[in-house]
């Protein structure tokens, strides 16, 4: 067999949520009736304007995408409140931005800091490039970052520090002063992942004017309802963005994804309704799940809720299986570093789907 590079051979595969087709095959369910509450998706669906733009431009997919996407950068900059020169857009969601960051910064043996439990793709992406993870701590009981654990983890080899706010999977926010403290304690790049910021109403964009080692990571997959189109973007000092463009694939953002992004940003009413629907769903789920004494439900500022299920007498795999047999997908969080086998993450859905979920959960716990 050909010789595989060590960093790939040693890599644990990323574990995504289960698909409708997989669940339908496993339990004999109708795929159309499965309720997806495991992948933090947008229950409202995409903007009608985006759907119309895609339908009108399907005939153009025989040609390459435009390499110049300045109009999209202009719209992102207007939405975010920054300048287009500070924007980089990725065509495999925020995950491509992570990969470009690693290609831009990492030499084998460089260190990066993460705070488990958090988004596992940071490790998956950076380890491939020979980076060494150093683990800080998310205080899960209080659902907040352990600031001292981050500061103590910083070393001369630290190249990147990841801060996820709202944190995935816990939904907690990182205090802005803690972010300032970290930025002032290192010359490493501090990546603040704001994939879910719209659900909290809190972001850290104003810090960009003060710190040239701040990088803000965002996505079109959540509030914008375009998870299937794979669009992400980063915001940073324009000099650093230029270095990233040296290693980023030119045509990674496909033509249809570009059109979907542009037209969604042209539909502010959709973005507002999308945000409010998810917040309404999140608040309902938090309130109703908190009524079950067997569950410990964590307050969230994202579009998902972390739940400790050990009081049910079941582990996360067992309760997830029972829900899946009833056509409901939630996320078994046992694969998240920093969590044991008793945690699930429940994503928002439509209010009708939320009510079905609560009724099924009630029948399981009775």
| Of the residues 267, 301, 322, the one at which a domain ends | 267
Q: Is the pLDDT of residue 17 over 70?
A: no
- What pTM did the predictor assign? 0.95
Omega prior to 118 cis, within 30 of 0: no
* pLDDT number for residue 143: 98
Domain membership of residue 1 (yes or no) is: no
Q: Is the pLDDT of residue 364 over 90?
A: yes
Give the separation between CA 68 and CA 250, rounded to whole angstroms: 9
Phi and psi of 87, rounded to 5°? Answer: -110, 135
Sign of the alpha-carbon torsion through 239, 224, 22, 36? positive
76: domain CATH number? Answer: 3.40.640.10
Could you tell me if 190 and 247 lie in one domain? yes
Give the separation between CA 276 and CA 268, rounded to whole angstroms: 12
Q: How confident is the model at residue 247 (pLDDT cuts 50, 70, 90)?
A: very high
Give the separation between CA 159 and CA 106, rounded to whole angstroms: 7
As for how many domains the chain has, the answer is: 2
306: domain CATH number? Answer: 3.90.1150.10
φ/ψ bin of 175: left (φ > 0), alpha (ψ from -120 to 50), beta (otherwise): beta
Q: Is the pLDDT of residue 271 over 90?
A: yes
- Give the chain's mean pLDDT: 96
Q: What is the mean pLDDT of residues 91-106?
A: 96
Could you tell me if 101 and 181 lie in one domain? yes
Could you tell me if 214 and 81 lie in one domain? yes
pLDDT one-digit tens code per residue, 299-344: 999 999 999 999 999 999 999 999 999 999 999 999 999 999 999 9
Give the separation between CA 67 and CA 250, rounded to whole angstroms: 6
pLDDT one-digit tens code per residue, 109-157: 999 999 999 999 999 999 999 999 999 999 999 999 999 999 999 999 9
* pLDDT number for residue 67: 82
* pLDDT number for residue 294: 97
* pLDDT number for residue 248: 94
Could you tell me if 98 and 247 lie in one domain? yes
* pLDDT number for residue 133: 98
Angle at 329 between CA 326 and CA 330, to 5 degrees: 120
Give the separation between CA 257 and CA 72, rounded to whole angstroms: 11
Give the separation between CA 361 and CA 194, rounded to whole angstroms: 30
Domain membership of residue 62 (yes or no) is: yes
């Amino acid at each position: 067999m050909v010789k595989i590079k060590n960093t790939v051979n040693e890599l644990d595969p990323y574990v995504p949520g289960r698909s409708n087709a997989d669940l339908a095959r496993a339990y004999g369910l109708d795929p159309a009736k499965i309720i997806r509450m495991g992948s933090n998706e947008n229950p409202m669906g995409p903007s009608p304007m985006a759907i119309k733009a895609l339908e009108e431009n399907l005939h153009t997919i025989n040609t390459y995408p435009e390499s110049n996407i300045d109009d999209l950068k202009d719209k992102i900059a207007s939405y975010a409140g920054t300048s287009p020169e500070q924007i980089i857009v990725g065509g495999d969601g925020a995950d491509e931005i992570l990969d470009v960051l690693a290609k831009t910064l990492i030499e084998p043996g460089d260190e990066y800091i993460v705070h488990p439990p958090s988004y596992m793709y940071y490790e998956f992406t950076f380890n491939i490039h020979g980076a060494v993870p150093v683990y800080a701590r998310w205080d899960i009981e209080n659902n907040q970052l352990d600031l001292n654990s981050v500061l103590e983890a910083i070393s001369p080899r630290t190249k990147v520090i990841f801060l996820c706010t709202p944190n995935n999977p816990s939904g907690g926010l990182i205090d802005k002063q803690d972010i300032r403290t970290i930025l002032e304690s290192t010359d490493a790049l501090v990546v603040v992942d704001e994939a879910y910021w719209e659900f909290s109403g809190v972001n850290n964009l104003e810090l960009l004017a003060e710190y040239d080692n701040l990088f803000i990571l965002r996505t079109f997959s959540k509030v914008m309802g375009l998870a299937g189109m794979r669009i992400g973007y980063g915001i940073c000092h324009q000099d650093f963005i230029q270095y990233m463009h040296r290693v980023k694939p030119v045509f990674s953002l496909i033509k249809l994804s570009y059109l979907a992004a542009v037209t969604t940003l042209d539909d502010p009413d959709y973005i507002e309704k999308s945000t409010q629907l998810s917040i309404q769903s999140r608040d309902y789920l938090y309130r109703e799940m908190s009524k079950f004494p067997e569950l410990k439900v964590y307050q969230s500022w994202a579009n998902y809720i972390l739940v400790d299920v050990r009081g049910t007498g079941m582990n996360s795999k067992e309760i997830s299986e029972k829900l899946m047999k009833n056509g409901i997908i939630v996320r078994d969080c046992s694969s998240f570093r920093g969590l044991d086998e008793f945690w699930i993450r429940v994503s928002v859905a439509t209010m009708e789907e939320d009510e079905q979920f609560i009724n099924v959960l009630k029948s399981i716990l009775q």
